[in-house]
Structure 1
Amino acid sequence: MYETILYEAADRIARITLNRPEARNALSDQMIDELLDAFERAKADPEVRVIVLTGAGDRAFCAGADLGGLGEKGLAAPEAIRESAPFRLFTAFPRLGKPVIARLAGHAVAGGLGLAAACDLVIAADDVKLGTPEVNVGLWPMMIMAIINRNVAPKHAFKLYYTGSRITAAEGRDIGLVTEVVPRADLDARVDELAGVIASKSPLGLRRGRDAFFAIEGRPLEDQVAHLLGELVELAATEDAKEGIAAFLENRRPEFKGR
Structure 2
Amino acid sequence: MEPYVTLLNKNNVGYIEFFHPNRNSIPSSILLELEQTIKRAGDDDTIKVIVLKSGGDRTFCAGASFNEVIAIENETQGKAFFSGFANVINAMRKCPKLIIGRVQGKTVGGGVGLAAATDYCLATKHASIRLSELSIGIGPFVIEPAVSRKIGKIAMSQMSIDAETFFSWEFAKDKGLYADVFDTIEALDESVKLLAEKLAGYNPEALIEMKKVMWKGTEDWDALLAERAKISGRLVLSKFTKNTLKRFR
Give the alignment's TM-score, normalised by structure 1.
0.77
Match of 1:182 in 2: 182
Contact 1:76/1:84 (<8 A) preserved: no
Name the CA shift for 1:74/1:58 in 2 (closer, same or farther; >3 Å).
farther
> Who is 1:53 aligned against?
52
Aligned to 2:11: 11
Which amino acid is 1:105 matched to? Answer: Q
Summarize the Cα distance change of 1:71–1:170 in structure 2 as closer, same or farther, 3 Å threshold.
same
Question: Would the aligned equivalents of 1:124 and 1:178 in 2 still touch at CA under 8 Å?
Answer: yes
Residues 4, 30 of structure 1: 8 Å contact kept? no
Larger CA Rg, structure 1 vs 2:
1
1:191–1:141 distance in 2 versus 1, CA, 3 Å: same
1:20-59 aligned at under 5 Å gives the runs 20=20, 22-59=21-58
State whether residues 94 and 211 of structure 1, in contact with CA within 8 Å, keep that contact through their aligned partners in structure 2. Answer: no
Could you tell me whether the CA contact under 8 Å between 1:27 and 1:64 is conserved in 2?
Answer: yes
Note the C-alpha offset of 1:136: 2.2
Mapped to 2, the partners of 1:4 and 1:56 lie a distance apart of: 9
- Displacement of 1:218 in angstroms is 8.5
Deviation at 1:3, TM superposition (A): 5.3
1:101–1:70 distance in 2 versus 1, CA, 3 Å: same
Q: Which runs of 4+ in 1 moved over 6 A?
A: none
- For 2:61, the equivalent position in structure 1 comes to 62
Take 1:156 and 1:215, find their aligned partners in 2: how far apart are those partners?
Answer: 22
Distance 2:178 2:43 in 1: 28
User: What is the deviation of 1:135?
Assistant: 2.2
Cα distance, 1:108–1:75 mapped onto 2, change above 3 Å: farther
The secondary structure found in structure 2 opposite 1:124 is strand
With over 3 angstroms needed to count, the CA separation of the structure-2 counterparts of 1:130 and 1:10, relative to structure 1, is same
Q: Which runs of 5+ in 2 are unaligned?
A: 221-249
- Alignment length, in residue pairs? 217
How far residue 131 of structure 1 moved from its aligned partner, in angstroms, is: 1.0
Unaligned stretches of 5+ in structure 1? 220-259
Q: Do structure 1's residue 205 and structure 2's residue 188 form an aligned pair?
A: no
**Structure 2: distance between partners of 1:187 and 1:79:** 36
Q: Is contact 2:48-2:200 (8 Å) kept?
A: yes
When the two chains are superposed, the root-mean-square deviation of aligned CA atoms in Å is: 2.4
The amino acid that maps onto 1:35 is: L
Structure 1 residue 138: deviation in Å? 2.5
Spell out the pairing of 1:210-225 with structure 2 (5 A cutoff). Answer: 210-216=211-217
* TM-score (normalizing by structure 2): 0.80
State the AA in 1 paired with 2:57: D
Q: How does 1:75-90 map to 2 (within 5 A)?
A: 76-77=75-76, 84-90=83-89
Distance change in 2, residues 1:51/1:155 (3 Å): same
Structure 1 residue 129, shift from structure 2 partner: 1.1
Which stretch shows the higher mean deviation, 68-77 or 155-164?
68-77
Amino acid of the structure 1 residue aligned with 2:205: L
Task: Write out aligned runs for 1:85-164 (5 A).
Answer: 85-164=84-163
Q: Deviations over 1:86-134 (max 9, x none)?
A: 2211222221000001101121110001111100011001122111112
Does the C-alpha gap of structure 1 residues 56 and 46 become closer, same or farther in structure 2, counting only changes over 3 Å? same
CA contact (8 A) 2:109 2:131 kept: yes
Give the Å deviation of 1:83.
9.4
